[in-house]
Amino acid sequence: MAALSGGGAPWRRGWLPVLQLVRRGSKAVTRHWKAMHFQRQKLMAVTEYLAPRPALPPRCLTPRRETREEEDGYGRLLRRQLEEVFREHRLIAVCQYNSMPDEDVVLMRQYLRKHNIEVKFVLNEIVRPVLSQSKYKNLLPLFVARNILLVSRETKVKEMLRVLKGVPQVNLLGACIDDTILSKQGVENFAKLPTLEVSQGQTVGALTLLPSQTSSLLQSGSAHLTALLDQHIHQLQAGETGSPEQPPPAQS
């Protein structure tokens, strides 16, 4: 005991008390971690924010480029066909197409086909690039809504207007006839014109009338002079013979 309490022990001589700072008025920490209630866990799980997923997985986006290339090729085909339509047909009428039953569409096509008029359903995305680079670019304002084309290799405007009169769902907006762009009123005025054969007959009659009148005018002077000379000769012969004067024969 004396040895433990003696001042000569080495561990006693090297020991110093630990310095501790005590804050007055501090409280002991009594709040410890506690598991979340089961109902609260479900509420937090339901209300957790989930980032939206992409519409298509990244692995599915690669074939989409090939599909776009195919669509571009199909669009080029449609544009080429449209260019052929404008190049090969004399009558190209632009009409606004409203929804109508399929039976009425079939009947309209049959009536128009009797007059060699075809119906072409076109898309504005295809028509606009073609017309903007051609001489028919003045037709661009007509392609606003859903449109159809009535095309024919002949200018059968009267027959087309007669058929469209019975189809109120199709409204005529304008036309291109023999590389001439006409409005709706212009198309109606064109339909009132006579046929080409009648116009040619009237032109030939007018051209033959003028030369005949000119020829008659040129011959009238010489015929009148000839009649005067015949009358003068008759008068001279009557004076030499002393016979009474007789009227000259009538000139035919």
Query: What is the pLDDT confidence band of residue 4, given thresholds at 50, 70 and 90?
Result: very low
The CATH architecture to which 90-191 belongs is 2-Layer Sandwich (3.30)
Q: Tokens in use for 240?
A: 């030499």
Kindly report, residue by residue over 19-70, the tens digit of the pLDDT.
555 555 556 656 677 888 889 899 998 898 888 877 777 666 655 555 555 5
pLDDT for residue 69 = 53
pLDDT for residue 1 = 44
Can you spell out the DSSP letters for 46-98? HT---PPPPSS-GGGSHHHHHHHHHHHHHHHHHHHHHHHHHHH-SEEEEEEE-
pLDDT for residue 185 = 93
Burial of residue 92 (number of CB atoms within 10 Å: 0-12, 13-18, 19+) = buried
Distance from C-alpha of 41 to C-alpha of 72, rounded to nearest angstrom: 53
Kindly report, residue by residue over 228-241, the tens digit of the pLDDT.
888 888 888 887 77
Backbone φ and ψ for 37, nearest 5 degrees, come out as -65, 150
pLDDT averaged over every residue in the chain: 80
pLDDT for residue 228 = 84
Q: Would you tell me how many other CB atoms lie within 10 Å of the CB of residue 146?
A: 14
Query: Of the spans 1-15, 29-43, 48-62, 130-144, which averages the highest pLDDT?
Result: 130-144
Q: Tokens in use for 160?
A: 């087309």
Q: What is the pTM of this model?
A: 0.54
Kindly report, residue by residue over 166-190, the tens digit of the pLDDT.
999 999 999 999 889 999 999 999 9
Question: 151 or 217: which carries more pLDDT confidence?
Answer: 151
